[in-house]
Amino acid sequence: MFTKKYVDVTESEEVQAKHKAFEHLLEEYAGDILHSDNFQKSKLYIQHGDVSVFTHSIYVARCAVMINRKLHVGCDERELIRGALLHDYFLYDWHHNTPENIHPHLHGFYHPGIALKNADRDFELTLLEKDIIKKHMWPLTVVPPKYREAWVVTTADKYSSFLETVKLRKSGKADFHYA
């Protein structure tokens, strides 16, 4: 059962209230994903430094919502959040040579397709959610996103990955917020 808070916060009451509101939004739109066994397993897989795929995916979802609201992009937030949570649903640690990691040196190219295949097996996906997952590595994967939600997630993913990496270099700890 999923009991831990999604993201640790040590901020002001106002910021904590924003995090709470985001957690409610996650539960409402994607509780089934968050509580699923496979998504929970992504806590074991490292994305950048000591940030797990689980945490990274939630950061990307939060960042995507923030971009959508601040820039008035007009995304469907349910699909935005679900696609963002599943964008890296490849379900292995890409740093290790395990049987699941079938293209260890080309992870960047292949993992969107693997994530889509896994997500399509475990959840009912809309066309828009599929586009988010499949195109999130653009321009590495050549075909650009079709929907505004996919553009927002590919941007949020790059921004989140950059912050995770930079913060790690600076302090050795990925403890930051997008509020």
Distance of CA 29 to the CA centre of its chain: 14
The verdict on 157 binding Fe ion (CB under 5 A) reads yes
Nearest distance from residue 47's CB to Fe ion, in Å?
7
177 phi and psi angles, rounded to 5 deg: -135, 155
88 vs 129, beta carbon nearer Fe ion: 88
Count of residues that bind Fe ion according to CB under 5 A: 2
Stretch that binds Fe ion, among 32-40, 73-81, 87-95, 99-107 (CB under 5 A): 87-95
Stretch that binds Fe ion, among 8-16, 77-85, 151-159, 164-172 (CB under 5 A): 151-159
79 vs 157, beta carbon nearer Fe ion: 157
Q: Is the peptide bond before 104 cis (omega within 30 degrees of 0)?
A: no
What is residue 52's three-state secondary structure?
A: strand
Nearest distance from residue 15's CB to Fe ion, in Å?
24
Packing angle of the helix pair 13-34, 77-86 (nearest 10 deg): 70
CA distance readout (Å), 86 to 92, 111, 129: 13, 11, 9
CA distance readout (Å), 101 to 22, 110, 117, 129, 130: 32, 10, 14, 23, 21
> Residue 123's closest CA among 28, 33, 59, 63?
33
Nearest distance from residue 53's CB to Fe ion, in Å?
8
Stretch that binds Fe ion, among 21-29, 66-74, 116-124, 153-161 (CB under 5 A): 153-161
11 vs 49, beta carbon nearer Fe ion: 49
16 vs 176, beta carbon nearer Fe ion: 176
In sequence order, the β-bridge partners of residue 46 are 52
Nearest distance from residue 17's CB to Fe ion, in Å?
27
Contact with Fe ion (CB under 5 A): which of 79, 88, 129, 149?
88
By the criterion CB under 5 A, which residues form the site for Fe ion?
88, 157
